[in-house]
Amino acid sequence: MFAIPDITELFKVSALIAAERRGITSPELVQQMSDHVVRQIESDLKIGADPAEFKFHFVISYIHSHTSAHLIDEMNADRIMNYVNDHWDLFDEEV
């Protein structure tokens, strides 16, 4: 296991958690999932996404790690994210 230096980087473990929950054991696939979500969030952060929205970044990374593993398609990932946004407060200040 490794330590996360900052809670705003929680998204970096989302693919590892998704892989564990889905029983994915291929190191190559887990790395592909991780690379996909880290690239996505780091790109968003470079264009102005707020690092303080770490809950949102984690959840969207967790969901989208499933798309890179071909467990769900983008449309279903978007539907899930819309549901989560409607029912969870991912933007509150509390940890």
pLDDT score of 88: 85
What's the average model confidence in pLDDT over 25-38?
94
Domain ranges of the chain: 8-87
Are 29 and 69 within 8 A, CB to CB? yes
- Does residue 54 surpass a pLDDT of 60? yes
CB half-sphere exposure, 93, CA atoms < 13 A:
0
Q: Where are the beta strands (DSSP E) in the chain?
A: none
pLDDT score of 19: 95
70: left (phi over 0), alpha (psi -120 to 50) or beta: left
Q: What is the pTM of this model?
A: 0.84
- Does residue 75 surpass a pLDDT of 80? yes
